[in-house]
A and B are shown apart, each in its own frame.
Chain A
Amino acid sequence: MTKPRANRIRLDRSDLTRKAVVAAFAKLNPKEMLHNPVMFVVEVGAVLTTALLFDPRATGGSSLPVFLQIVIWLWFTLLFANFAEALAEGRGKARADSFRSLQEDTVAHRAKSGRADLEAPCEDVPSRALRKGDLVVVSAGELLPCDGEIVAGVASIDESAVTGESAPVVRESGGDRSGVTAGTRVLSDRILVQVTTDPGESFLDRMIALVEGAKRQKAPNEVALNILLVGLTIIFLLVVATLEPFAIYSGTQVSVIYLVALLVCLIPTTIGGLLSAIGIAGMDRLVSHNLIAKSGRAVEAAGDVDVLMLDKTGTITFGNRMAVDFVAAPGVPTKDLAEVAYLTSLEDQTPEGKSVVDLAGHQFGLTPPGGDLGTYHPFSAQTRLSGLDRAGQELRKGAGDAILRYCGLDAIPMPLRAAVEAIADAGGTPLLVARDRQLLGAIHLKDVIKPGMRERFALLRRMGIRTVMITGDNPRTAAAIAAESGVDDFLAEATPEQKLEFIRREQAQGKLVAMCGDGSNDAPALAQANVGLAMHDGTMAARDAANMVDLDSDPTKLIEVAMIGKQLLISRGALTTFSIANDVAKYFAIIPALFVQIFPGLEVLNVMRLATPQSAILSAVIFNALIIVALIPLALRGVQYVPSSAAALLRRNLLLYGVGGLIVPFVGIKLIDLLITHIGLVR
């Protein structure tokens, strides 16, 4: 699914780890901890118990070694959580640094007097001095100093620094391929670019901010989950705080250090410690797919998408329609038809035209005639015909109604009409060919569907996502292609207004819609869609309206986006479930340990047969800290997402993280207990 990327950053693991270790200590600053309420409670507990170590009344001689070890592990719990976050941030930072290196101050040639032509006199200014609306001239070999829109000229540009794609792309003024990005290099020609962003707001700046997690806003589901975690923390605070009165009633008193140990074991530290790492790593995964999301909200929305709108051309089918057959009118030799089609297409530079030349050449061995070809009439919006005047003959090809008008006919005569209708029914486009206002036959132009699309749509269906094909074709053609490619629905003869209307209609039914687009006329629909994915080679308007940009300009990326979004949510849900399920074993370790002295019968609850009360409590605390470290790779990678129905996913994740979360700590705590009693850390 992922192809290797040129800009995939070689992450120096040992260096990242070293930096993360340092950052883990720096993050102990209570101000930093406050944003994570669960871990803040751990920190308060760690500070409190550390202070209590120096109070002889609280520790009492013989238990001091155990207390000391508990306190140390409490600090480790904190450091491990900080380490996870720092590691995730570190990977983002490394990526950001590589982007930042592109941003070194370049010299920009700013057009004086704002004249909008390539020959305008220029002054040299540093790139950071450029403001929105300035015009700059960029020539071959120079780096683009800014994000902008080409207003004059055409150039080939190497965008590999940003997109990882090594093949240069052509950018030109006007149309949908006019956007350029700072940090990319002009390879040929000269362009005049209008600056579209002020310093610090460029695309590159946004990317850097994003991958660094500097401006990371918590996405709605993350906030909601945090509420849940805070709620659980509150209840466990109360459970532990009220345990002392209950113990006093029962005729004993529990050391505050043990109470804090119990508290830290119970509150959801596993998910609390890994939550922000999961979020940062999710963004990082997007970037590694060459996708830039403008907010975490957009990524989450991607996981919820119900309807995926895909352009037919370029996404579902190859961009070009190809001639696949000639259908001659009765009495006309097919070779005649092919020859006329061949001649009218020789000067036609469109892919369709070229495919006609190829087909005729291949089928009938036609070669370009020598000498003067004749007068070429290119396609025009008025006639909607193109063709050639040659040797006193008018050769024409064009859309059905145009050729009929040209021939003075009301309808295609039978049996050619049946053949033409059959072409349309099969999802093809019939082009009619005429000579001297006499109908010769039709060319069958066919949309060729990209391989593997049917499988991808089936996958999406399993994920609960409905695919809708958007096309300018007539409904009949659209239906045929829809059937062939396996999409669930189609929107034929779609105008930008209709796209917008379609999205609104779906949203009114409570559905979340994703679409991708590149043209300026897609911008309203991109803005309206819950997930708008703009192509990097699209216009600035489209990129601004969308909430995600794909640097590879691959519309099928929407599928990856949806999967990453889902993976992000699943990781959070799975680790929360795991965290809560863990508590059962911890209770069975700690509660009998605390009270077995006054109620010997409670030894029955010591189902793990832990050696001593002290070893039991210490083992639980150590397990609680180590499980964070053990799960860091999972948090950074995200839990595996297998596209399948919700029921199947739930079954799988529940078994893995719910039942697993129940069993793992029983085993883990027992093993730790065996180990620490064996090496004599506790009596």
Chain B
Amino acid sequence: MPAAHVAELVIYFGIVLLLMVPLGRYMARVYQGEVWLARWLGPLERILYKVAGVDPAAEQPWYRYAAQLLVFQLVSGLGLYAILRLQQFLPLNPQRLGPLPPAVAFNTAVSFLTNTNWQAYSGEAQLSYFSQMALIVQQFVSPAVGLAVAVALFRGIARQSSKTIGNFYRDLVRGLLYVLLPLVIPFALLLSWQGVPQSLAPYHPVTTVQGQVQQIPGGPAAAMTSIMMIGSNGGGYFGANNADPLENPSALSNLIVWVMILLVPFATVFTYGEMVGSRRQAWTIFAVMLTVLLAGFALTWNSSRAVGPRLAALPVRSSSGNMVGVEERFGPFLSSLYLPATTGVSNGSVNSAFDSANPVAGMVALADLMLGCITPGGDGAGMYGILFHVLFIVFLAGLMVGRTPEFLGKKISIREAKLVMIGLLITPVAILLLAAPAAVLPASLASVSNPGPHGLSQILYAYSSGVANNGSAFGGFGAALPYSAIMVGVAMFLGRYLIILPALAIAGSLAAKTSAPVTAGTLPTSGWMFGLLLLSSVLVVAGLSFFPALALGPVAEHFALWAGQLFPLH
């Protein structure tokens, strides 16, 4: 690896490593007690509670927490759907754009509600400014919801014989005011310093080298990019997302957005460590996440450095690797670094076209989604996602040391075993159940732009992206067609709420338990051996679920590519 690349790796990861622990500890204070920011934002926080008629001190049992969350999401979702369907009657619609079709409106509402940011619509052509703003609201709210669920689960693990796990609205508001806002503002300033537009001025007409006039768009792009990255959203201001020179103008801005993808997800791991009082375990979980991330990067880069024999035979430059779909400014290395980050987090923003990546690189992205986006996963979602694996491993390994499995001193009983299995299996079950009919029904196949195994990869990717609430896509997939719009909407819905509910239920039942003291007979839930087990669980659960599908998709495609095999259009 050239020295420049080594330096890039050190800088990229170094900054995240430097910032994540203090941020994680700060977040723990946000959700547990007071922070200095409350001196300025406290009055605003109290006004919000007063307006909403919420008593922030009222502790809730898990089912009330879950019920308020669901009601809040239902109302938000219906509101968002209404806005998208009625935008022609609403203000800030200078282009007089008509309503979004029902299927796409449903898809988009669910997409932004669930922190997915799957974009079945075309922003510039279909959405009014008002609708865009409604989406941006959800870009703030949905990561705050994810963080709320995570900290509620952390509390459930930490508390002793408690009936309650916190207050949903308090967690929501504090996450917004004290975590997301303070992060978004400085990062937005940094991005706009690097040249990302942040203005309300009209489009700039410029004369190009060829002598033509081109409109350079403006708008609040820096602000939106900032929350889209910090909030593991991924839905960009411009169509080309972070490959667009306006959204990601420089080497430095690429570093900044990359750090923003990983910052909050990794910090949440240490929030967990603080809140449950086990920093060692936080480091173990972090190590597992980082391992998958680094392995994903290594595979992606290794795959991206070569092109298949048929492409190599064409008169194009391929010495630096597969440049198809890759932004010239970033090249295969920075694209390969970006890919496992945005799919490991349920971010889904891109700085290259995944659809054009070599099959192994595409499979890394797909596999990240099939893991459920837990390395390190979306804001909050990654931690509560991986904790299902932690509990699963605790159960199996606990039996292997001859004790009723216990996690941080709490016995895992029949109820938790059920909930863990639901939370663990919902990702593979939903992906397989939705992708299988999509692979044969003509209504679905209309969305598939490629023949052969790559077409299957596209289908798998769409539903995996939906279930994992990632939002990235293999670009050829026709997401706006009614069947795909509705079914991917269903995927996003299942992948969000059928994991949140068991997570909160586990929080409730663990909170009610007391911790047994640790003895020599207790299974250690940190350290390299537990880390190795956790890693195996993460890989094996997804591996066993998707081995056949992957074999017929990217794996078959990989061998076909290198054999120069072509597939006829259907």
Residue numbers of A with Cβ under 8 A of B are 220-221, 223-225, 227-228, 230-231, 234-236, 238-239, 241-250, 266, 300-301, 303-304, 306, 461-466, 508-512, 565-567, 569-570, 572-574, 576-577, 580, 583-584, 587, 591-592, 595, 599-602, 604-605, 641, 645-647, 649-651, 653-654, 657-658
Contacts and interface: CB of A to CB of B under 8 A. Distances in A.
B413 A649 contact: no
Nearest to A247: B552
B72 to A, nearest CB: 30
Interface in B408-454: 409, 412-414, 417-418, 421, 424-425, 428-429, 432-433, 435-437, 439-440, 453
Contact of B413 (A220, A512, A601): A220
A587 B544 CA distance: 8
User: 5 smallest A-B Cβ distances: which pairs?
Assistant: A601-B559, A464-B521, A573-B399, A566-B402, A510-B516
Interface string B507-549: 0000001111101111110010100010010001001111111
**Chain B binding site: helix, strand, loop or mixed by DSSP?**
helix
A573 B412 CA distance: 14
B55 to A, nearest CB: 32
Nearest to A652: B400
A337 B171 CA distance: 80
B516 to A, nearest CB: 4
Contacts, number: 212
Contact of A654 (B398, B400, B522, B560): B400
Nearest to B439: A249
Contact of A250 (B429, B456, B546): B456
Nearest to B541: A235
15 contacts: A227-B418, A231-B424, A242-B549, A246-B435, A303-B403, A306-B517, A510-B515, A569-B398, A576-B396, A587-B544, A595-B552, A601-B565, A641-B402, A646-B523, A649-B402
B397 interface: yes
Given A228-B421, A249-B440, A650 B559 contact: no
A646 B529 contact: no
Contact of A465 (B401, B421, B425, B519): B519
A221 B524 contact: no
B439 A245 contact: yes
Nearest to B403: A304
Contacts of B562: 601
B520 A231 contact: no
B76 interface: no
A306 B402 CA distance: 12
Residue among B402, B435, B563 with max Cβ neighbours from chain A (10 Å): B402
B265 interface: no
A602 B553 CA distance: 11
B432 A242 contact: yes
A650 B424 CA distance: 23
Given A245-B436, A569-B402, A649-B402, 11 more contacts: A224-B417, A231-B425, A242-B549, A248-B440, A465-B521, A510-B514, A566-B401, A600-B563, A646-B521, A647-B524, A649-B400
Nearest to B562: A601
A656 B428 CA distance: 29
B170 interface: no
Contact of A223 (B414, B455, B533): B414
Contacts of A306: 516-517, 519, 521
Contacts of B424: 231
From A249, A300, A462, residue with most partner B Cβ within 10 Å:
A249
A587 B513 CA distance: 40
B159 interface: no
A220 B414 contact: yes
Contacts of A584: 540, 543-544
Contacts of A591: 547-548, 551
Interface of chain A, main secondary structure = helix
Nearest to A249: B439
A269 B57 CA distance: 51
A601 B517 contact: no
B558 interface: yes
A246 B517 contact: no
Contacts of A461: 520
Contacts of B545: 235, 239
B402 A246 contact: no
Contacts of B540: 580, 584
Given A566-B403, A650-B400, A599 B520 contact: no
B397 A569 contact: no
B411 to A, nearest CB: 8
B498 to A, nearest CB: 14
Nearest to A590: B548
Nearest to A601: B559
Contacts of A247: 552
A569 B399 contact: yes
B523 A572 contact: no
A417 B546 CA distance: 81
Contacts of B522: 464, 646
Nearest to B418: A227
Contacts of A300: 404
Contacts of B136: none
Nearest to B543: A584
B544 A583 contact: yes
